[in-house]
Homo-oligomer: A and B are copies of this chain.
Amino acid sequence: MTTTEQTPTSAAELEAVLDGAARAAEPLAHLRPAQRAEFLRQVADALDKAGEELIEPARRESHLPESRLRGELVRTTFQLRLFGDVIDEGAYLGVTIDPPEKDWPTGARPDMRRMSLPLGPVVVFAASNFPFAFSVAGGDTAAALAAGCPVILKTHPGHPELSQRTGEIITAALASAGAPHGTFALIHGEEAGRDAITDPRVRAGAFTGSARGGRALFDLASARPDPIPFYAEMGSVNPVFVTPDAAAERAEDIAHGYLDSFTAGVGQFCTKPGLLFVPSEAIDAFERTLVSGVAQRAAAPMLNAGLEQAFRDALEPISGHESIRPLVSGDSTEDGTTPTLLRTSAEELIRHREPLTQECFGPVSILVGYSDEQELLEAVRLFTGELTSTVHGAEGEAIVPELFTELRKRAGRLIWNGWPTGVSVSHAMQHGGPYPATTAPTHTSVGTAAIERFLRPVCYQNTPSAVLPEALLDENPLGIPRRVNGHLELPEPRS
């Protein structure tokens, strides 16, 4: 089922890419923000226009259904345009102006003007499970370009033809929009990725994928003679907790919703819920609904053979564990993979934290019975870093605030009576969390705040306006929000 393999980028080719990115950094940083916004919109338009020719290789290489891929392309181009809006609004620049103040308590204060500038060339490592939205034209690329950083995109080998074509479209759209040569380039192969992230010209890295891969690259970035920020989003277990009241009122509905969430995309989402905690007295009812639902799921192909093998390897120590009772053992045939459903108790889970709370990327989930609220809270404390945690409960139930208090320490997004799969691209989205969900708990990799990862503040002291960036001029020619003398100020609404 695989297609063309991508030839690894040679050392000489990589050198040309790095040199190009380094040369593009300064002209890109000097462009007016509105021009960068236009770049993003032109890339989005070009991708939309090429939709038909992109869907075909995407479908062939990822085995994902066409409808899903079409939706993902919409998401991808929307995301690019949304970052265009972020640039136009300008708050991301963090413009802060302290006028001179002779009587400032720490001594006469000079004129100081602070704003954020792009970090410089960024290496983005594409993921396999979203061939559009977390790949070549995905969120990290959009955020880094929006910040004004050249992007060196390390392709995922899972969809080489789509990657190549997407890269060509981006490069052409950027060139025709007037972006500096070197603003965007593809590289292929693990060695080129490692060499890029350790190259002195590269100023940051971003990654979506496995814990093993993310950590290895984070370690390389941190061990450089000059360490650089490395933003790895490595997925998580995304536990779901059902309270006694919710189990009593809506067991059937919750089981159906859970089934849809953990099997969506053949379980290949970073936000796939891997554990469903239900009261012991209700577990049999959940089991019945889930088992009959799982049994009706048709086989569907996973993204690629390597990923399927990794899934099998990760699943084996869990499904074969002494404390686990397999309810449905999924199968792999020519048609694809069917979901696996396992069962255990919170008591066993607490006793066997490893391997039972390890992420297993693919269509598997564990149904976990807890005996009382005490044990539920104890189970919650097993988790240290999650992209999401979900509570199904009833308003006014005493356990609910306690659950949220514990969970907010452990996850980037807390979901009430819903499901973690489906990550909206918006302003308030937080797609991140403490390690091992990510290597950068203070940031998000989805949503408009993702741009902050690629910006570096600079303060200009007593600098003449002829030399100041436009964003820092008194008269606010860009019409952006600013903090002046400590007070936030909004610009007049634009006509």
In the complex, what distance in Å separates the CA atom of A426 from the CA atom of B483? Answer: 12
Contact with B along A84-113 (1 / 0, CB 8 A): 010001010010111000001111011011
Does residue A416 face the partner (Cβ distance < 8 Å to B)? yes
- Contact assessment for B428 and A112 in the assembled complex, using a CB-CB cutoff below 8 Å: yes
Assembly of this chain: how many copies?
A: 2
- Contact assessment for B435 and A457 in the assembled complex, using a CB-CB cutoff below 8 Å: no
Nearest CB of B to A58, in Å:
17
The verdict on A110 contacting B226 (CB below 8 Å), with A105-B74, A105-B75, A120-B409 known, is no
- Chain A residues 438-480 with CB under 8 Å of chain B are 439-444, 449, 452-453, 455-464, 466-467
- Contact assessment for B464 and A413 in the assembled complex, using a CB-CB cutoff below 8 Å: no
- Contact assessment for A442 and B409 in the assembled complex, using a CB-CB cutoff below 8 Å: no
Q: Which of A156-164, A240-248, A249-257, A398-406 is near enough to bind chain B?
A: A398-406
In the complex, what distance in Å separates the CA atom of A223 from the CA atom of B220? Answer: 11
Closest residue on chain B to residue A418 by CB atoms? B462
Does residue A436 face the partner (Cβ distance < 8 Å to B)? yes
In the complex, what distance in Å separates the CA atom of A75 from the CA atom of B460? Answer: 22
Q: Could you say which of B428, B449, B463 contacts A414, with CB atoms under 8 Å apart?
A: B463
Contacts of A308 in B (CB 8 A): none
Contacts of A106 in B (CB 8 A): 74-75, 78-79, 424-426
Q: What total of chain A residues lie within 8 Å of the partner, measured CB to CB? A: 93
Contacts of A332 in B (CB 8 A): none
- Contact assessment for B227 and A466 in the assembled complex, using a CB-CB cutoff below 8 Å: no
Q: Could you say which of B109, B418, B442, B458 contacts A411, with CB atoms under 8 Å apart?
A: B458
Q: Could you say which of B113, B408, B439 contacts A458, with CB atoms under 8 Å apart?
A: B408
Does residue A71 face the partner (Cβ distance < 8 Å to B)? yes
- Contact assessment for B109 and A424 in the assembled complex, using a CB-CB cutoff below 8 Å: yes
Closest residue on chain B to residue A468 by CB atoms? B404
Contacts of A488 in B (CB 8 A): 89, 91, 481, 488, 490
Closest residue on chain B to residue A390 by CB atoms? B461
The verdict on A462 contacting B416 (CB below 8 Å), with A435-B226, A488-B91 known, is yes
Contacts of A395 in B (CB 8 A): 464, 466
Does residue A384 face the partner (Cβ distance < 8 Å to B)? yes
Contacts of A409 in B (CB 8 A): 25-26, 120
The verdict on A459 contacting B429 (CB below 8 Å), with A110-B418, A435-B227 known, is yes
In the complex, what distance in Å separates the CA atom of A98 from the CA atom of B441? Answer: 21
5 shortest interchain CB distances as A-B pairs: A430-B459, A112-B428, A222-B222, A114-B428, A98-B428
19 residue pairs A–B, Cβ–Cβ below 8 Å: A78-B106, A79-B106, A91-B488, A96-B428, A98-B426, A106-B425, A107-B422, A114-B430, A114-B449, A219-B222, A226-B436, A228-B435, A229-B440, A404-B467, A412-B457, A413-B458, A416-B463, A427-B486, A442-B456
